[in-house]
Amino acid sequence: MTDFCVNGRFLVQPISGVQRVARQLCRALARSPAKDSFSLVIPPEAEAEADQIGLPFEIAGGASDTSLGGILWENRALPKATRGRYLINLTNRFPLALKRGAVLIHDAHVFDLPSTYKPIFGSFYRNLYRWAITSGLDLVTVSKFSRARLSQALGVDSNRWTVIKSGIDHILEPKPDFSTLERFGLVPEGYVLTVGALSAHKNLAALKLLARGLTAQGLKLVAVGDVAPEVYARTDLGEALKYVGQVSDGALRALMENARCFVFPSQYEGFGLPPLEAMALGCPVATSDIAPLREACGEACIFFDPNDPEEIAERVLALSNNEAQRVHLGDAGREATRHLTWDRSAETWLDLLSVASKSSKIIGS
């Protein structure tokens, strides 16, 4: 029987940043000497996905492909299958009866921006996070910013939290799909790229003036994201924006590598994967001047006030028109993100688990 189990429900969920972190971390654990100390516990419909992760896995209970089914699976089938073993939960959720395990909570969004959630959804997660504190679980988050905000919101000593930064080297794995540019009528360095979603805090409407400025220079603003086109239409960006929707990792790499620069106007993040992915590929970045992005990006990018559309347009257009600065930031971005690897994240998790498990066995030995 393995020492540690991983809650594998993320394998049947749509892939957003949280699920990407879980997948990449588990792949890194599968590459580690401690691989056989872990078991990925999954619902039946996740078997094909689990085969791609590389960790040993166990199938538990029935299907969990609905919201209610997922809650029931996590609170009935999962605890029964893990049988008291240490359970690692990587996507903010965990069984309510869990007494021995860790939970990765990515940010304090449900406390800091409650209006962006449906009331029942926000209340569920706020109470769940409080229960993690009460249950004495090992607490993990992705940045010093998130640690500070979660500690304050939950009234818990910041020393209860372990900060484990996410890796970003997954963006270096796929081959760039250069056919993407032709498919969407784009030319290298003929556009500025952004990644965004429906959530109001992603702040896409603040790019209106930038989009107009780019159009005046014969350039485009290209948006990637799993959002219906009408969502972008409501931002009043009009013909100035080229919406390409959700794309493969290879397509995203090609878009980032060939953009003049990358703009990220988000008003709230726990960590901030998209600008770091762009930096890792040598794409110069302009991003919001908010604490988590200052922490993540350091001095290797241009910052702007996300609440000032005129400043956003001014600074991004200046970057777009300054080739020397773009080259400098491209090199600086690669260097600044070199240490953010999933193998390093996995090593930090293994250090945490070797202490938290209170086991005399040294994992990986």
Q: Counting runs of H as helices and runs of E as strands, what totals does the chain give? A: 16, 13
Task: Assess whether 346 and 328 both reside in one domain.
Answer: no
For the record, the structure tokens of 101 come out as 């395990």
Task: Assess whether 317 and 207 both reside in one domain.
Answer: yes
Task: Assess whether 119 and 198 both reside in one domain.
Answer: no
pTM of the model as a whole: 0.90
Task: Assess whether 196 and 294 both reside in one domain.
Answer: yes
- CATH number assigned to the domain comprising residue 26: 3.40.50.2000
Which H or E run includes 182? Answer: helix 179-183
Tens digit of pLDDT at every position of the chain (365 positions): 568 999 999 999 888 889 999 999 999 999 999 999 999 999 999 999 999 999 999 999 876 656 667 888 999 999 999 988 999 999 999 999 998 999 999 999 999 988 888 899 899 999 999 999 999 999 999 999 999 999 999 999 999 999 999 999 999 999 999 999 999 999 999 999 999 765 677 888 899 999 999 999 999 999 998 654 444 445 555 567 788 888 999 999 999 999 999 999 999 999 989 999 999 999 999 999 999 999 999 999 999 999 999 999 999 999 999 999 999 999 999 999 999 999 999 999 999 999 876 643 434 43
The CA R_g of the chain, rounded to the nearest whole Å, is 21
Could you tell me if 90 and 25 are in contact, meaning their C-beta atoms sit under 8 angstroms apart?
Answer: yes
Strand, helix or coil at 253?
A: helix
Split into its structural domains, the chain has a count of 2
Query: Is there a domain that residue 365 lies in?
Result: no
Across the beta sheet with 57-59, what order do the strands follow?
A: 57-59, 38-42, 4-7, 86-89, 101-104, 138-141, 161-163
Query: Is there a domain that residue 361 lies in?
Result: no
Could you tell me if 306 and 203 are in contact, meaning their C-beta atoms sit under 8 angstroms apart?
Answer: yes
Domain encompassing residue 237: 170-336
Query: Is there a domain that residue 261 lies in?
Result: yes
